Structures are given as C-alpha cells and as structure tokens.
Structure 1
Amino acid sequence: MKYRLPLVLASLLLAGGVQASAADHVHASHAWIRVLPGDLPAGAYVTLHNDSAQPVALTGASSAAYAEVMLHQSSTAGGMSRMSMVDTLTVPAHGDVALAPAGYHLMLMKAKTPVKPGDTVRLTLTFSDGSTLATDFLARPANAIDAGEPHAGH
C-alpha cells in the first residue's frame, strides 16, 4: 500500500512529459467571440503573432465551454457567401494572421451552458508543432464587428 503513492506520482510525471508544450512563440491578441441568439453557433476571432523563424500552422482548438470547435473560412464568389471547414491556417514566421469576420474564424458549436456578452471563454489553440496556447476570448453581442477595444489614434 505504501508503494502506490510513488508509482502514481511517477505515472503523473511521465504522463506530463507527453503533453503538448505551451506555445511560447505564438501570441494571441484581440480575442473575441460573437455570440448569436439561442443555440446558434458562435464565431471566435483572434490575431495570432508568430515570433519564431519558422511558420507554424493553427490545426485546431478546443474549449470546455463548447462541444465542438472547428476552423472555418468564409468567402464570397459570384455574389454568394459560403463557409467551408479548413484543416490548417499558417501563421508566417515573424508574422501575423487574423481570424476575423468574413474570413478565417473558429466555429463554436453547442455551448454547454449559455454564453452571454461580457463572459470570458477560454479556448486552447493547437499548432502543427504540437504546442498549445490557452487564450481567453471576450464574448460580444451578435451585432459586434470587432473585439470592442479602443483603437489608438482614433
């Protein structure tokens, strides 16, 4: 019986070694969610900055607040708007990429509890190098067009 605790601790330490590492080379800003009424999916938007000398791709995301999170791209062709699921979005080396309305975004499906404007929802972003980035997103109303932050110089 007295030998179980060290074995449990050793197992936890070994399990921690296979977890994805924190993305110290990718930073998030202007993270927000557009909350729609009822059970409609929400859209999540964020600007990602890659400090490293190598490009890295956003490959997915997850959240305890939603049953499913998918990477999508909105586009318009011939006057028709459409949305398609994509597998990855590259963040260039020493560069930025913006997930924004009418472009790339995260679709948040099936909220586990209602999300209201003003709430903060944590999403964990996953990258092609195995790193992850936990990011807090501010829930905004359905008519929001951006993160609602004051813009310098305006």
Structure 2
Amino acid sequence: PQPMPAPPPATAARPAAALPAASVAVSDAWVRWLPAGLPMGGYMSLRNTGTRPLRLTGARSASFGGVMLHRSEIIGGMARMVHVESVTVPPGGSVRFAPGGYHLMLMQARDVKPGDSVDIDLQFAGHAPLPVSFQVRGASGRP
C-alpha cells in the first residue's frame, strides 16, 4: 500500500479563481507600437474604487514574450528606465501610466501592429488577474 499524500500546507496560495476581483477602474489603455522588434510601452490610468490600497505587481500577455513594470526618470540630465517591483494605487486615488513616467515595458511582440487591440492581464496582489484590452497606436501615440 502507498502512503496517503500529505495535505497542502495552510499557507498554500489560493487558486486565482478563488481570489477576489480588484476594485479598480482602468481607462485609456494603449500601447505605443515601435518597429524592428523594439520594446513597446503600455499606458493606462488606474483608479482605485475601493477602500484599501491596491498594489499592481505585474502583468502578462500572450501578445508579448515579457511584460515588466517600469518608470522613466531623469538622473543627472540623462533619461533612463528603471524596473519597479510594484505600483500602489491609494484608496480613492489614481495612478497614470504615461510616456515619461510609469509604463508597462512590453518585450518580444508577437505579430502586433497599429490598429490592433491586445489583451494584457494586470496582476494585483491578493486579487484575480484583471484582463484589459489595450489599443495599439503608432509610434506617435496618436489614436
């Protein structure tokens, strides 16, 4: 006879289906398309409609090989991009992802072109992934 498997530890993560939805409104979600396989930027506005802080910890998309949270900053007169682990949206507050600030760094695009829409799942700590449709715009960023 084979031994019975041990029950999962009490600290095991709950499956995503059991996690609550984040209390967040997403608007103006768009991607700046760039040619020649260059990384693209994802932009949006997040508004926390809940009573607790929300922490965006990442994003995923089948349209890209990798997605990271970044922030542009100027140090010593030089612009550079810095990876950030998370972005907190205060209760009742908003955070804007825009050129020159926070953005999603979208790498290894898979057949993405201006005029498309791509789905990106936003990942908030303690919440189920939130699927958001982003409109792909040309390099100028104009709709």
Q: Does 1:143 align with 2:140?
A: yes
Between the aligned partners of 2:66 and 2:133, the Cα distance in structure 1 is 17
Q: Does 1:127 align with 2:124?
A: yes
Q: Which of 106, 114, 136 is matched with 1:117 structurally?
A: 114
Q: Which residue of 2 aligns with 1:46?
A: 44
| Contact 2:16–2:129 under 8 Å retained in 1 | no
Give TM-score, length-normalised by structure 2. Answer: 0.85
Amino acid at match of 2:130: L
Q: Which residue of 2 aligns with 1:89?
A: 87
> How far off its partner does 1:132 sit?
1.8
| Contact 1:31–1:45 under 8 Å retained in 2 | yes
SS in 2 for 1:81: strand
* Number of aligned residue pairs: 129
Between the aligned partners of 1:129 and 1:95, the Cα distance in structure 2 is 19
| Identical columns (%) | 47
Q: Which of 55, 58, 61 is matched with 1:60 structurally?
A: 58
Between the aligned partners of 1:111 and 1:77, the Cα distance in structure 2 is 29
Q: Which residue of 2 aligns with 1:107?
A: 105
Between the aligned partners of 2:21 and 2:38, the Cα distance in structure 1 is 31
Q: Which residue of 2 aligns with 1:10?
A: none
The structure with the greater share of residues assigned to helix is 1
Between the aligned partners of 1:74 and 1:125, the Cα distance in structure 2 is 20
Amino acid at match of 2:94: D
Of residues 67-76 and 128-137 in structure 1, the stretch that sits farther from structure 2 once superposed is 128-137
- Structure 2 segments unaligned to the other structure (5+ residues): 1-13
Cα deviations by residue, 1:46-95 (Å, 9 ceiling, x for unpaired): 10111111101100000011010000010012210011100000011011
Q: Which residue of 1 aligns with 2:7?
A: none
Amino acid at match of 2:101: G
Q: Which of 75, 84, 99 is matched with 1:77 structurally?
A: 75
- Structure 1 segments unaligned to the other structure (5+ residues): 1-16, 149-154
Runs of 4+ in structure 1 deviating by more than 4 angstroms, as ranges, are none
Give TM-score, length-normalised by structure 1. Answer: 0.79
Cα deviations by residue, 1:121-151 (Å, 9 ceiling, x for unpaired): 0000000123321000000001116xx3xxx
Between the aligned partners of 1:22 and 1:58, the Cα distance in structure 2 is 14
